A and B are shown apart, each in its own frame.
Chain A
Amino acid sequence: MDKIRALIVDDSSVMRKIVERSLRQAGIDLDKVFEASNGAEALASLRENAVDLILCDINMPVMDGLEFVRQAATLESAKGIPIVMITTEGSENHVVQALTAGARGYIRKPFTPDQVKEHVLPVLGKKP
């Protein structure tokens, strides 16, 4: 698999580390990991950095994950980049909102590395 540049968006630095570890455990070869602690920081990061994959929480201060997905859809530099939500919000309503806004996958916390593999590899065009 080609090396991947990922953007991990979560207000918890501990969770960002766990998500990065889970991506590596899923066999994803990470070239570079960018981090953001809310949607606004993530949009700023996307204007500066080219990435292949975005993993994003929903409940965050400043700008939540759903609003980030909506705004990222209008950002030229973010077009076509798969976004996978990783969140404690597990309702069908949240899943529908996220997928409608443009997210390509949805993982509920708590999550295992296998769940990350199952949901992330397909959006990268790989078999889990």
Chain B
Amino acid sequence: MSTDTSFVTRSREENWQPILELAIEEVFEIMVGTRVKPVSSAEQAPNREFTAMVGLAGSLCGILTICCSRKTAQALTQAMLGVAAQSEQEVRDALGEICNMVTGNFKNKLAGTDDRCMLSVPTVVSGGEYSVHSMLDGVSITTFVIFEGGPVSVTLQVSN
């Protein structure tokens, strides 16, 4: 590995995209009960009716966001619980927990990072007309999965 330890460099040298994809695959298979195949581009961008965010701070600084439509978020919740969501709060909770597990699973797969990196509790934004802008100046990796016909985007933005 290079002596340049910037995360932009590390992300390129270590190729974090497949690590992120594996983290997503494991969470979906184990907790959602569905095998998904992440792809680097989607024919259709997800409707951003729900966005879950988990921050990373410490040796790795950044944010991981998961976006999907209301319908897809409801389907994810139902798949996790085995029954339909009883409230929108439950849908937000489920998406936030998926985001939390993907972020933690990704972090745990990065050598030398996990001990000195903390996760925030999840935040979930719901609505229609909004955009999420990170102030981070660094690297951004986005991958997509299709869940029950609906696209779900997963974006990792890491500060340099």
Report which A residues bind B (CB closer than 8 A): 11-15, 17-18, 21, 59-61, 87-93, 108-112
Contacts and interface: CB of A to CB of B under 8 A. Distances in A.
Interface residues of B, number: 27
Given A17-B81, A18-B80, A93-B115, A108 B108 contact: yes
Interface string B114-134: 110011110000000000000
B26 A110 contact: yes
Nearest to A17: B81
A12 B97 contact: yes
B114 to A, nearest CB: 4
Nearest to B96: A12
Contacts of B97: 12, 14-15
What secondary structure prevails in chain B residues at the interface with A? helix
Given A12-B93, A89-B119, A110 B80 contact: no
A13 B88 CA distance: 12
Contact of B94 (A14, A88, A109): A14
Mostly helix, strand, loop or mixed at chain A's interface?
Answer: loop
A42 to B, nearest CB: 16
B150 interface: no
Contact of B104 (A60, A89, A93): A89
Contacts of B103: 88
Contacts of B77: 14
A11 B101 contact: no
B105 interface: yes
Interface string B72-95: 000001001110000001100110
A87 B81 CA distance: 18
Interface of B: 26-27, 30-31, 77, 80-82, 89-90, 93-94, 96-97, 100-101, 103-105, 107-108, 114-115, 118-121
A86 to B, nearest CB: 11
Nearest to B83: A17
A92 B107 CA distance: 13
30 contacts: A11-B121, A12-B93, A13-B89, A14-B97, A17-B81, A18-B31, A18-B81, A21-B82, A59-B100, A59-B120, A59-B121, A61-B121, A88-B100, A88-B105, A88-B108, A88-B119, A89-B104, A90-B105, A90-B114, A91-B114, A91-B115, A92-B115, A108-B108, A109-B100, A110-B26, A110-B27, A110-B31, A110-B101, A111-B30, A112-B30
